[in-house]
């Protein structure tokens, strides 16, 4: 299983860096419109994230907390804390230009970023996207079944590629020196692999400590996945007036896939 996680780590590292490097190398000369396939892919990823958080991670985290001797519902408390923390990071702390760049509808997001971003906006966007990427990597790293890991990998890869492209656009249009922009993109690309390594090393600890670490990671990641699915992807992708039925169908498909997966893993 560790070999599989290592291979997924390398692929996600490349996805994050390459998707951000495309607009950075081209200097983001123009905005990018969201395609129908992108909308459907995002909706499917949202369904996978929602199902993973509610059907897989929260029950697994609850079981791990029980093995550690806790009767209090810490899994749900930490998941809720993760959602509240992400609201603070993404909706309260960023400046107005960073907030709009992060949360404009996907069809408008890149055009909005193409007008330029301040130093503060770029760092706010980098922080928010990197926290997402880190916790998504942790969730993948603690998986013990290859089937579940591969499904999560697909959703995380799609989300990271889109996030990397948005970050690359903001870096290209920012006043930052080119060397620093490439360094910041590399830090974002590394966030998910670092999370995978954190999650994968939980098995190296003594049984009760490993259960506590795994439970904590799973709880926080579950909250992050639920946040990404509902307050990130769905809130943005369902803001339009067309294609809502198809997007709902893809969300339902992603959630159903995770529900069916729970029958075997």
pLDDT tens sequence across 205-264: 667 777 788 888 889 888 988 988 888 777 766 655 566 788 889 889 888 988 887 777
Q: What whole-number percentage of the chain has pLDDT above 90?
A: 9
- Look at residue 40 and tell me whether its pLDDT is greater than 80: no
Q: Which domain holds residue 93?
A: 33-261
- Judge if pTM exceeds 0.75: no
| pLDDT for position 263 | 77
| pLDDT for position 112 | 47
- Look at residue 171 and tell me whether its pLDDT is greater than 50: yes
Could you read off the pLDDT of 63-79 as tens digits, one per residue? 889 888 888 999 999 99
| pLDDT for position 218 | 86
Residue 181 lies inside a defined structural domain of this protein: yes
Residue 7 lies inside a defined structural domain of this protein: no
| pLDDT for position 113 | 46
| pLDDT for position 233 | 75
- Look at residue 26 and tell me whether its pLDDT is greater than 80: no
Residue 13 lies inside a defined structural domain of this protein: no
- Look at residue 4 and tell me whether its pLDDT is greater than 90: no
| pLDDT for position 130 | 85
Could you read off the pLDDT of 86-135 as tens digits, one per residue? 888 877 877 666 666 565 555 444 444 444 555 666 777 788 788 888 88
Residue 87 lies inside a defined structural domain of this protein: yes
**Long-range contacts for 142-150 (Cβ within 8 Å, ≥24 apart)?**
142/199, 142/200, 142/202, 142/214, 142/217, 142/218, 142/221, 143/5, 143/199, 144/1, 145/265, 146/1, 146/4, 147/261, 147/264, 147/265, 148/56, 148/261, 148/265, 149/1, 149/4, 149/5, 149/8, 150/8
Residue 215 lies inside a defined structural domain of this protein: yes
| pLDDT for position 90 | 78
User: From CA 239, how far away is CA 104, in angstroms rounded?
Assistant: 10
User: From CA 23, how far away is CA 32, in angstroms rounded?
Assistant: 10
Domain count, the chain: 1
| pLDDT for position 98 | 62
| pLDDT for position 110 | 46
Residue 136 lies inside a defined structural domain of this protein: yes
Residue 120 lies inside a defined structural domain of this protein: yes
| pLDDT for position 96 | 67
| pLDDT for position 30 | 44
Residue 162 lies inside a defined structural domain of this protein: yes
């Amino acid at each position: 299983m560790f070999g599989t996680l290592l291979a997924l780590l390398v692929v996600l590292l490349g996805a994050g860096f390459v998707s951000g490097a495309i607009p950075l190398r081209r200097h983001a000369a123009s905005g990018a419109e969201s395609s129908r396939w992108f909308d459907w892919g995002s909706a499917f990823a949202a369904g996978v994230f929602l199902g993973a958080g509610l059907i897989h991670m929260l029950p697994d985290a609850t079981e791990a907390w029980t093995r550690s001797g806790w009767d209090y519902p810490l899994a749900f408390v930490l998941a809720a804390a993760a959602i509240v923390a992400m609201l603070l990071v993404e909706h309260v702390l960023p400046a107005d230009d960073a907030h709009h760049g992060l949360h404009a509808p996907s069809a408008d997001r890149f055009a909005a970023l193409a007008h330029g971003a301040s130093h503060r906006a770029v760092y706010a966007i980098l922080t928010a996207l990197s926290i997402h990427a880190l916790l998504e990597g942790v969730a993948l790293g603690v998986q013990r079944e290859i089937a579940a890991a591969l499904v999560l990998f697909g959703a995380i890869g799609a989300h990271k590629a889109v996030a990397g492209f948005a970050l690359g656009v903001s870096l290209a249009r920012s006043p930052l020196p080119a060397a620093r922009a490439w360094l910041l993109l590399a830090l974002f690309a590394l966030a998910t692999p670092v999370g995978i390594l954190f999650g994968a090393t939980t098995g190296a600890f003594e049984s009760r400590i490993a259960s506590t670490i795994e439970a904590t990671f799973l709880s926080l990641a579950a909250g992050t996945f639920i946040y990404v699915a509902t307050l990130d992807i769905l809130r943005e992708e369902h803001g339009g007036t067309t294609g809502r039925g198809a997007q709902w169908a893809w969300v339902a498909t992603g959630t159903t896939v995770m529900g069916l997966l729970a029958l075997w893993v």
